[in-house]
Structures are given as C-alpha cells and as structure tokens.
Amino acid sequence: MSRTVAIEGGGAFAVEPGEIVLDAAERQGIELPHECRAGNCGTCRVKVAEGQVSYASWPSALSEAEAACGFALACQARAETDLVLRYERVAYTEPSRQSALVIDVAPLAPDIVQVQLVLPDLERLEYRPGQHVNVFLEDGTHRSFSMASPPQGNAIDLHIRRIANGRFTGGMLAQLQAGDMLDVEIPLGTFHYHPEDERPILLVATGTGISPIKSIAQALMEDPDCPPVALYWGMRTKDELYLHDEIPAWGEKLFEFAYVPVLSRADASWSGRRGHVQQAVAEDIGDFSEYAIYLCGSPNMIHDAKALFLARGAQPAHVYAEGFSFQRHEAPAATLS
C-alpha cells in the first residue's frame, strides 16, 4: 500500500512500499534537499513531525539520538506510515545553473588548492555561509564544494583537497587554470550559519571542512551579538594546517574566541594537541547541552563527534553537520512502475 508524505507548509507525494522517500519525491517532481544519496553527508536531514520511517541499513550521518528526536535522512528513509515532514523555515536563495570563470588556482597545502571563481552573469550572489556549489563534469555528474567565504559580490572561494584517483580533484583540477569556465549550480545545501541560534558556538572541522566553517566564522565577525566561539580544527600534519597563521587573528573580531588545532599524525616538532579532533573536544568540554555545534569534514569524524557529544547532552536540534562524502555517480533509483 502506498503512503502519503506531506510537507508542512505545502506539497505532498506518494511513496510506494520499499521506496526511498527522496526517490519518491523526485519521481513526482518534488525537489527535496540532498547531496550524497548515501546517508553520509546529512544534507537531507529532516524532522519527521508525524509518522515513522525505517532504514535498510542505518545511515552513518544519523545518530540514534537524532532519530529518537524525530530526525530522518530522506535519502535513505522508507515510510512505514503516512508521514509529515518538517523542513526548516528559512529563506534560501533559489539555486541556479551558472557559468563560472576561474580567476585563480593556487596551492594552499601539499594536497589542497584554492580555486577562486566569479559568476559573470550575476551582479551579486546571495547564499547562507556554510552552503556549497556543485561543479558539473562533462558526463553530467557533479562534485560538491563549500564556499570558504561569506557572500562577496559575485566571487566565491573554494578549498579543494586532491583525492588520489578522484576524477575531478585528482585529474581535471590539475589542468584547471585562470580563464577556464566551469558549469556550476549554486547555492546549495542545508548546512549553514544559524544566527537565530544564540548559544555559545562550537565549530569542529577536519581537513577542508574548515572551508564552510571559515565562511561561518566570517559571518559571525559581522554579528554584533556574536556569542563565544570555539574552533577545533583537525588535520593530519602541521604542513596541512593552511590557515594556522591566519586563524588566531579571527579573535580580534570574534567574542571570546578559542582556537585549538589538533593533529592526528604530527611529528615530534608539534607541541600542540594530538589525536582525533572530536576526542580533543570531548577532553575539554564535559557538558554540551548549551552549545550550538557545527561539524564539518570527514563523515567518520562527524559520526564519532555526534555519538560523543549527544551522549553528553548536546541537543540534536542544535547540531548542524555536513559530511564531505563523495558523490554517488549513477542516476537516482529507477522509477517504480
């Protein structure tokens, strides 16, 4: 028997037995936020206001505590009953396909480059700090990258890690140079700064997960009601900490700013914190119940951080996370007949 999925505020669609909620929505022409389609990035997290969902296998980007609070991942969830889904009531700028001109490609660290783009057809690009852009490849698949700066005219900065054997980051990126054009869709994603959440802010990033966190931190610098901000940044080695010299100066504009870099493969010369970044946070903070927590980077870090922090009082509604998973490249699940 098919089930009905209603979206609070408007819209409804049918979902067939065994069908994934996101696939059913797309089949009926309804756009729901999503990215990796594998339950790893968390972009499709939604509150189930009424009804029950199930999973064929538990998605890594959803903790049991979040599920107990009614959150679900639309890209993995199946409807066990009729559902009412509650999406955040924030005004997002409608994404659009654009041509992007490459202004500069410059190394930031051994395997990380900065790509600066402008969107010549837009005078000004509005987005929420933390959101991302999708870059399309010739085969129609796309790769996601977060803006590393808040809105600034029609320019965007990306911080991209090269993945060995990665088609875009390991191949095409090496050829990319000023003057090239990219086909992009922007702005996208549900991970962003929440100015309405006035709790002390805990920012936790691994690797290039610092990119949207930097964008969020820069937005906080302009916020006259900026709450206390703590940033933990996990990397493997010191030479990868490409913003290490810049970040302490953020304290001039952020309220009660604390910055803690944590290295998992530091050599003997490193006198700072060692190990996994989420462990360092858990060593320093006993009770997470009063924090607004932003997690970005490795899906494993996010999975472990959620387990640690939620067990110590973090509130699922105040945990905002984005896992930098890689994209599923095949087409979405076939339409049910």
Residues that bind ligand FAD (CB under 6 A): 35-36, 41, 43, 132, 143-146, 158-161, 163, 165-170, 189, 208, 211, 322, 324-327
Dist. CA 57–CA 169, nearest whole Å: 29
CA 31 to chain centre: 18
Q: Which is nearer to ligand FAD, 37 or 78 (CB)?
A: 37
**In the complex, least distance from residue 112 CB atom to ligand FAD, rounded to whole angstroms:** 7
**In the complex, least distance from residue 323 CB atom to ligand FAD, rounded to whole angstroms:** 7
**In the complex, least distance from residue 169 CB atom to ligand FAD, rounded to whole angstroms:** 3
**In the complex, least distance from residue 301 CB atom to ligand FAD, rounded to whole angstroms:** 11
Q: Which is nearer to ligand FAD, 145 or 257 (CB)?
A: 145
**In the complex, least distance from residue 96 CB atom to ligand FAD, rounded to whole angstroms:** 18
| 5, burial (CB in 10 Å: exposed 0-12, middle 13-18, buried 19+) | buried
Q: Which is nearer to ligand FAD, 196 or 330 (CB)?
A: 330
**In the complex, least distance from residue 131 CB atom to ligand FAD, rounded to whole angstroms:** 9
Q: Which is nearer to ligand FAD, 173 or 314 (CB)?
A: 173
Q: Which is nearer to ligand FAD, 242 or 255 (CB)?
A: 242
Q: Is the dihedral of CA 123, 128, 129, 135 positive or negative?
A: negative
Q: Which is nearer to ligand FAD, 167 or 238 (CB)?
A: 167
Dist. CA 17–CA 23, nearest whole Å: 12
Dist. CA 313–CA 118, nearest whole Å: 42
- Helices assigned H by DSSP within the chain: 21-27, 64-68, 173-175, 210-221, 277-284, 299-311
Q: Which is nearer to ligand FAD, 14 or 176 (CB)?
A: 176
**In the complex, least distance from residue 133 CB atom to ligand FAD, rounded to whole angstroms:** 9
Closest CA to 312 of 281, 277, 274: 281
Strands (E), the chain: 3-7, 12-15, 45-50, 53-54, 71-73, 78-79, 83-86, 96-109, 112-118, 132-136, 142-146, 155-161, 181-188, 201-206, 229-235, 258-263, 273-274, 292-297, 319-323
